[in-house]
Structure 1
Amino acid sequence: MPDTAMAPEIDVLIEAEGWAGVDLDGVAARAVRAALDHRGIEEAEIAILACDDARIASLNADFRGKPRPTNVLSWPTEDRAPDVEGGHPAPPDDPELGDIAIAWETCAAEARAGDIPLDHHLTHLLIHATLHLLGYDHERDGDAALMEGVEVEILADLGIENPYR
């Protein structure tokens, strides 16, 4: 019997030259699908901007008031956070989940510094960002513990080591 599950729609816009040697489409498809599967979500739409540190620093300044580069940012289309600390968010009603930006220089430097394969680090960051789009967060201790645990479970399912060790 054929698989009738819908594949997520992931639009990747590569804006920075550093991404040229990376199969970001493939890494993103694997990471996003793993996060969605873990939550039992079949249909989703996500846009990913693959940029450089200058661009993400500008976005970080505009949206978070932090004028410096970061590895990944996410913008959910709506607030899906649960009211109860440490609780799982409800599945989204709308498949349009939001947008993600990921920065080449910061991600590559973090992978080198941690002696982590780049595709593993990118997978982790894209899972992390997808979970943000689904309503997970790490502002409160209970939410942070839950989000980290979910990330570790998803990564383990993909054969990727716990990045928090």
Structure 2
Amino acid sequence: MAQAFKLTLDIQFASDSLEQTWSPLINKRKIGNWIKKALQQDASMTVRFVGNAESKKLNGTYRHKDYATNILTFPYDIDPVSNALNADLVICLPVLKKEALAQKKSIEQHLIHLIIHGTLHAQGFDHEDEIEAEAMEELEINILKSLKQANPYC
């Protein structure tokens, strides 16, 4: 059985209208369960749900890309006392919805994938070269399978 890691989780919405629209799908318990499946250490994480403008601004500031993106991951220093990972995941809901429709999957399926993907990034996994990409994708596929989700790369 996989080790259960401790997670401290905060969920934020950038606006009341985003929260009203999306809160039926997004709840702390489900997101926490998805994150825990991808954790390899204790963690304190914030998942912030934003619109296009905030995503574009953050993507421009931190990645020098002039567009809204599906997810941004901000890992911080490991807490020296608890040895816990500290990270923020910022998910752009309009991009999430657009991509889910284009990929012919449910919004929840795509959200689960992005949460797993971002959590792995927060722990240092990357896809900058072919070897890293294959390793990260294989890990994502296995975690998603444990959540009874399809391979997102097929």
> In 2 relative to 1, CA 55–157 (structure 1 residues): closer, same or farther, beyond 3 Å?
same
Cα distance change of structure 1 residues 133 and 140 upon mapping to structure 2, 3 Å threshold: same
For the residues of structure 2 that align with 1:6 and 1:73, how far apart are their CA atoms?
23
One-letter amino acid matched to 2:149? I
Q: Structure 1 residue 51 and structure 2 residue 50: aligned?
A: yes
Q: Which moved more, 1:70-79 or 1:126-135?
A: 70-79
Shift in Å, 1:96: 3.2
The equivalent residue for 1:84 is: none
1:120 aligns with 2:109: yes
TM-score (norm 1): 0.81
Partner of 2:89: 100
- Whether contact under 8 Å (1:27, 1:123) holds in the other structure is no
Deviation at 1:78, TM superposition (A): 4.2
Q: CA separation in 1, counterparts of 2:130 and 2:37?
A: 24
Runs of 4+ in 1 over 4 A off after TM superposition: none
Percent identity between the aligned chains?
30
Q: Which has the higher contact order (CA 8 A, sep 6+)?
A: 1
Q: Which runs of 5+ in 1 are unaligned?
A: 80-92
Task: Give, in angstroms, the shift of residue 162 of structure 1.
Answer: 0.1
| Deviation readout 1:66-99 (Å, 9 max, x if unpaired) | 01011000011149xxxxxxxxxxxxx8313311
CA distance in 1, matches of 2:83, 2:94: 33
Distance 1:6 1:125 in 2: 20
Secondary structure at the residue paired with 2:67?
A: coil
Cα distance in 2 between the residues matched to 1:76 and 1:128: 13
In 1, the alpha carbon distance for the partners of 2:30 and 2:5 equals 18
Unaligned stretches of 5+ residues in structure 2: none
Distance 2:4 2:63 in 1: 36
- Given the two structures, how large is their TM-score scaled by the length of structure 2? 0.86
CA deviations on 1:5-60 (whole Å, 9 max, x unpaired) are: 55411111111414233224233212101101xx3x3x210111110111100000
Work out which of the residue numbers 11, 14, 36 in structure 2 matches 1:33: 36
Cα RMSD after superposing both structures: 2.0
Partner AA of 2:147 in structure 1: L
Which residue in the other structure is 1:14 paired with? Answer: 13
